[in-house]
Amino acid sequence: MSDDALSNLLQENRSFPPDAAFAKRANVTAEAYADADADRLGFWAVQAQRLAWDSPWHQILDWSNAPFAKWFVGGRLNVAYNCVDRHVESGHGEQTALVFESESGDSRDITYRELQEMVSQAANALQGLGVEAGDRVAIYLPMIPEAIVAMLACARIGAPHSVVFAGFSAEALRSRIDDAQAKVVITADGQFRRGSAMPLKPAVDEAVAHTPSVDHVLVVRRTGGEVEWTGRDVWWHEVVEAASPEHHPQAFDAEHPLFILYTSGTTGKPKGILHTSGGYLTQAAWTHWAVFDLKPDEDVYWCTADIGWVTGHSYIVYGPLANRVTQVIYEGTPDTPHKGRWWEIVQKHRVTILYTAPTAIRTFMKWGEHIPDDFDLSSLRLLGSVGEPINPEAWMWYRRVIGGETCPIVDTWWQTETGAMMIAPLPGVTACKPGSAMRPLPGIGAEVVDDNGAPVDPGGGGYLVLDEPWPSMLRGIWGDDERYVQTYWSRWPGEYFAGDGAKLDDQGAIWLLGRVDDVMNVSGHRISTTEVESALVSHPAVAEAAVVGATDATTGQGIVAFVILRGTPQKDGAELVAELRDHVAHEIGPIAKPRQILVVTELPKTRSGKIMRRLLRDIAENREVGDVTTLADPTVMGLISDGLSSSAADD
Ligand code: 7RM
C-alpha cells in the first residue's frame, strides 16, 4: 500500500467554523477536551452524574480483566426511571416526550406522564407473563410508540431486550430468538408500509414454531388484520392496558445487561452485541446532549432511524429520553404519500434537530431540491449524519438545501459495538470539514494505525482503532467470549479494531474511508471506494454511485463503478462514461480512474441503507450473484443485471 497515494486523495479544503451565536449558547465548549485530556476517567465520572443513581459506584473503571470492562463498579440505577419517571418527578410530566406521526399523517402526542404510565403497565404485564430480571425478551415491532414502551418496560424490570428489525425474515428472527433464548416475543398483527397494511405476526408464528424457549407472544393490534391465534399468544390491549399504571422501578447493577443487538460480521452467523446499563446510558446521554447541543425545553428532535438498529436504541430511546427530549417518531417511508413527506413533517412539528443517513440525503438529491424547497425548514438548527461516510457533495447539499447554509452538520462515527458516538464534531467548537467526522469526542481514544499497529503521521492512512476503553463499549458477544476477543482485540495488543479504514489529515482530522473490506488496492495504491464514489457524485450527471474493487490480473484490483444518473442523460452512454472516467482522474488522480463504469437504475442496499458491495463485486467479476437475503429489495440484483445486458455503458 502507498500512504502517499492515499493522503493525496480527496483534497477537501472547505471548513465551516461554528456560527458565533450558536457557539455562545452551545452546551459544550472546548474545555471539555481539556478536562478529558487532564483526567479521562474523571471526565466520564462527571458525565455519569447526568443520571440518577440509587447507589454510588466505588470505582469508575475496572479494566483488570481486559477486554471485558466494568464501568461505574458497584453503582446501581434503573435505566427506565432515568428515561421517564425522573422527568415527571422534576415537574415535566406534561412535556411531550413523543410526537408519533403515522404514515397516513395522523399524529399523536405522548407526554412524559403518559409514557410513565404506559411503561409501568407494560412492565407489570411482562412480570405477569413470568418475565424476571435477566430473562431475554425479543421485540419485533414497527416504529410505533409501543416499540419504545416495550424497550423501556424491559429495561425497567431488568430483562435484556433483543430488538429485531421488523423488515427481517422469519428465519432471521428465529435465529436471533434462539441464540438469546428469549422467553417472550413482543410483536404486532401488522404494520403500515407504503400505504398498505402488511402482516407481521405470521413471521413470528413461523419463527416461534422452532424456538421452544418462547412461552408467550405479546401482540399489539396495529392494523386490525386477521391473525392466527394460539394458546401462547396474548393481546397487548388486554394484558398491558389492563395492568396497573404504577410500577416500582427496582435498581440494577451498573453492569446489568440492558440489551443484545445482532449485527452481521464476516461469517454468516450474526453477532449478539451485548450492552449494559450505567456506562451505556452515560455515554448515550452525554453524546446526545453534547453533539446535538440538545436544549430540552426548546428543541424538537427527529432521528429517522428505526429502533431495529443501534441508532434507534441510542438516539431515539436511551440518550434522548434520558435528556428529556421532545421528539418525533415516524412510522412510514420518505416517499409515501409523496416525496416531500419528511420535509412536511419538519414543517408540521417545527423540527429543530434532524439526524439521518447519507443514503437518505443522496436519495433526496436524486429526487431534486425543488421538493424540500416547497416546505418551510426554517425551524432546523442542527443536522446530523450517521451510518456511512458522507461524501462532501452530499454534505454540502445537506447544508445548503436542508440547513439553509446555517445549520452545523455533525457527522457522527460509531458502531453497534461502540454503543454511542465516538468520533464527531462538537457543534459549538469544531470547524467542520465536509466529509470528515473530525476528531474523537472528549474522553474517547481513537487512532489511525498502519499494518503494524503504529500510529500514522498526519496525511497518512490506515486502520481506525480505539485505544482506550469507553463507557458504552460492548461488553462482549452474547454467549461467545472467544469470538469477542478474536474479532475485535486480537489484531494489535490492547487496541479495539473497528474494521474501518481511515485517513488522518494534516490538521489531525479523521476521515473515515468505509469498511476495510471496501478499501481497494490498485497497483499497490490504497484507494477507498468512498473516495471514488464521492468523485463520481461530484459530477453533475451522477445521482448516486457505488464502487467496488474487482480482482484484476495485472493491477491486483480494478475499480468498477456502478452509477445512477440524474434525470435523462444529455449525452450518449459511451461519451458520458468517458467523461466520468476523466472526471474521477481529475478529482483524485489517474490511479483512481475506474476500469469500468456501469450505468444502472438501482443499487443493492441493506434495509439500513448500506450498499452491499459484495453483490456488486459478484457482477463486476462476472460471478453468480451471492446471498441476497439481507437486501431491502431482493429483486434489485435482477434489475441491475437485466439493465446491464442492454446497456452500452461498459467501455
Ligand atoms: C451507527 C451505525 C457501523 C459502521 C462503521 C462504519 C459505518 C457509521 C459512520 C460510518 C463513516 C460515519 N452502526 N459508519 N457511521 N462511516 N462515517 N459517520 O451505523 O454498526 O450499523 O455500522 O458504519 O463503517 O463501522 S453500525
Do 315 and 427 fall within a single domain? yes
Q: Is the CB of 464 under 6 A from ligand 1?
A: no
The answer to whether residue 129 sits within a structural domain is yes
| Helix (H), strand (E) at residue 636 | helix 636-645
In three-state secondary structure terms, 207 is helix
* Residue with more model confidence, 636 or 467: 467
Torsions phi, psi for 70 (to 5 deg): -130, 125
Beta bridge pairs of residue 497: 465
Residue 644 pLDDT grade (very low, low, confident, very high; cuts 50, 70, 90): low
**Cell numbers placing 69:** 470492562
* In the predicted structure, residue 332 carries a pLDDT above the cut 80: yes
Query: Which residue in the block uniquely carries the three cell numbers 432511524?
Result: 305
* Nearest ligand 1 atom to alpha carbon 515: 24
Residue 550 C-beta-side C-alpha neighbours within 13 Å: 20
Do 323 and 438 fall within a single domain? yes
Question: What letter represents residue 117's amino acid?
Answer: E
Contacts of 324 (CB under 8 A, 6+ apart): 87, 92, 95, 112, 296
Residue 516 pLDDT grade (very low, low, confident, very high; cuts 50, 70, 90): confident
Residue 344 C-beta-side C-alpha neighbours within 13 Å: 19
Task: For residues 503-513, give the mean pLDDT.
Answer: 93
C-alpha to C-alpha distance for 561 and 616, rounded to whole angstroms: 9
CA of 412 to the centre of ligand 1 (A): 8
pLDDT tens across 75-109, in order? 999 999 999 999 999 999 999 999 999 998 899 99
The percent of residues in the chain predicted with pLDDT above 70, rounded, is: 93
Residue 3 pLDDT grade (very low, low, confident, very high; cuts 50, 70, 90): very low
CA-nearest of 395, 365, 450, 155 to 275 is 155
Among 75-89, 149-163, 569-583, where is mean pLDDT lowest? 569-583
Q: Is the CB of 306 under 6 A from ligand 1?
A: no
CATH code of the domain containing 622: 3.30.300.30
The answer to whether residue 312 sits within a structural domain is yes
**499 secondary structure, DSSP code:** E
Residue 51 pLDDT grade (very low, low, confident, very high; cuts 50, 70, 90): very high
pTM over 0.75? The answer is yes
Which region holds residue 523: left if phi is over 0, alpha if psi is between -120 and 50, else beta?
A: left
CA-nearest of 421, 64, 68 to 255 is 68
C-alpha to C-alpha distance for 65 and 530, rounded to whole angstroms: 37
CA of 649 to the centre of ligand 1 (A): 32
Q: Is the CB of 515 under 6 A from ligand 1?
A: yes
Beta bridge pairs of residue 98: 110, 327
Q: What is the 3-state secondary structure (H, E, C) of 424-474?
A: CCCCCCCCECCCCCECECCCCCEEEECCCCCECCCCCEEEEEECCCCCCCC
Most confident of 28-37, 263-272, 485-494: 28-37
Task: For residues 463-474, give the mean pLDDT.
Answer: 98
The answer to whether residue 586 sits within a structural domain is yes
Task: For residues 254-259, give the mean pLDDT.
Answer: 98
Contacts of 124 (CB under 8 A, 6+ apart): 243, 244, 247
* Nearest ligand 1 atom to alpha carbon 512: 11
CA-nearest of 42, 44, 39, 40 to 286 is 44
CA of 413 to the centre of ligand 1 (A): 6
Neighbours of 376 (CB within 10 A): 12
Q: Is the CB of 437 under 6 A from ligand 1?
A: yes
* Nearest ligand 1 atom to alpha carbon 610: 23
Task: For residues 296-303, give the mean pLDDT.
Answer: 98
Question: What letter represents residue 83's amino acid?
Answer: C
Q: ω into residue 245 within 30 of 0, thus cis?
A: no
Q: Report the number of distinct structural domains present in the chain.
A: 2
Task: For residues 441-460, give the mean pLDDT.
Answer: 94
* Nearest ligand 1 atom to alpha carbon 309: 21
Q: Is the CB of 192 under 6 A from ligand 1?
A: no
Q: Is the CB of 534 under 6 A from ligand 1?
A: no
Q: What is the 3-state secondary structure (H, E, C) of 248-270?
A: CCCCEECCCEEEEEEECCCCCCC
CATH code of the domain containing 438: 3.40.50.12780
**Residue 5, pLDDT score:** 37
The answer to whether residue 380 sits within a structural domain is yes
Task: For residues 326-353, give the mean pLDDT.
Answer: 96
Contacts of 559 (CB under 8 A, 6+ apart): 520, 522, 527, 532, 547, 548, 549, 550, 592, 593, 594, 595, 596
Residue 9 pLDDT grade (very low, low, confident, very high; cuts 50, 70, 90): very low
Residue 514 pLDDT grade (very low, low, confident, very high; cuts 50, 70, 90): confident
Do 63 and 171 fall within a single domain? yes
Do 494 and 554 fall within a single domain? no
* Nearest ligand 1 atom to alpha carbon 437: 18
C-alpha to C-alpha distance for 477 and 288, rounded to whole angstroms: 25
Query: Which residue in the block uniquely carries the three cell numbers 455519569?
Result: 48
CA of 418 to the centre of ligand 1 (A): 10
Q: Identify whether the C-beta of residue 305 lies closer than 8 Å to the C-beta of residue 317.
A: no
The answer to whether residue 506 sits within a structural domain is no
CA of 30 to the centre of ligand 1 (A): 25
Alpha carbon 58 to its chain centroid, in Å, reads 33
Q: ω into residue 337 within 30 of 0, thus cis?
A: yes
Torsions phi, psi for 329 (to 5 deg): -125, 140
**Residue 608, pLDDT score:** 75
Residue 519 pLDDT grade (very low, low, confident, very high; cuts 50, 70, 90): low
Query: Which residue in the block uniquely carries the three cell numbers 452545523?
Result: 408
Q: Is the CB of 356 under 6 A from ligand 1?
A: no
Q: What angle do CA 30, 35, 36 make, to 5 degrees?
A: 100
Contacts of 285 (CB under 8 A, 6+ apart): 47, 50, 51, 318, 319, 322, 323
**Residue 7, pLDDT score:** 44
C-alpha to C-alpha distance for 546 and 391, rounded to whole angstroms: 12
**Residue 643, pLDDT score:** 60
Do 148 and 72 fall within a single domain? yes
**Residue 534, pLDDT score:** 84
* Nearest ligand 1 atom to alpha carbon 416: 20
Give long-range contacts, CB 8 A cutoff, 24+ apart: 237-242.
239/125, 239/128, 239/129, 240/118, 240/121, 240/122, 240/125, 241/121
Torsions phi, psi for 354 (to 5 deg): -120, 130
The answer to whether residue 14 sits within a structural domain is no
Do 496 and 528 fall within a single domain? no
CA of 295 to the centre of ligand 1 (A): 26
**Domain extent at residue 138:** 20-443+465-501
Which residue CA neighbors atom 15 of ligand 1 most closely? 387
* Nearest ligand 1 atom to alpha carbon 608: 21
Neighbours of 634 (CB within 10 A): 11
* In the predicted structure, residue 397 carries a pLDDT above the cut 60: yes
**Residue 517, pLDDT score:** 62
CA of 308 to the centre of ligand 1 (A): 15
Which residue CA neighbors atom 26 of ligand 1 most closely? 415
The answer to whether residue 528 sits within a structural domain is yes
Do 173 and 283 fall within a single domain? yes
pLDDT tens across 187-218, in order? 999 999 888 999 999 999 999 999 999 999 99
pLDDT tens across 221-242, in order? 999 999 999 999 999 999 999 9
**Residue 265, pLDDT score:** 58
Most confident of 2-11, 336-345, 534-543, 590-599: 336-345
Do 235 and 331 fall within a single domain? yes
CA of 498 to the centre of ligand 1 (A): 10
Do 532 and 639 fall within a single domain? yes
pLDDT tens across 124-133, in order? 999 999 999 9
**Residue 195, pLDDT score:** 86
Q: Is the CB of 423 under 6 A from ligand 1?
A: no
Q: Is the CB of 512 under 6 A from ligand 1?
A: yes
**Residue 649, pLDDT score:** 35
Q: Identify whether the C-beta of residue 599 lies closer than 8 Å to the C-beta of residue 543.
A: no
Please list the alpha-helical segments (H only) found in 240-391. Answer: 278-291, 310-312, 319-322, 341-349, 358-367, 370-373
Do 543 and 493 fall within a single domain? no
Q: Identify whether the C-beta of residue 18 lies closer than 8 Å to the C-beta of residue 382.
A: no
C-alpha to C-alpha distance for 394 and 140, rounded to whole angstroms: 33
Do 139 and 177 fall within a single domain? yes
**Average pLDDT of the chain, as a whole number:** 91
Which residue CA neighbors atom 3 of ligand 1 most closely? 415
**Cell numbers placing 438:** 473530525
C-alpha to C-alpha distance for 135 and 306, rounded to whole angstroms: 24
Q: What angle do CA 182, 68, 164 make, to 5 degrees?
A: 30
The answer to whether residue 74 sits within a structural domain is yes
Do 610 and 558 fall within a single domain? yes
Q: Is the CB of 347 under 6 A from ligand 1?
A: no
C-alpha to C-alpha distance for 164 and 186, rounded to whole angstroms: 10
CA of 562 to the centre of ligand 1 (A): 22
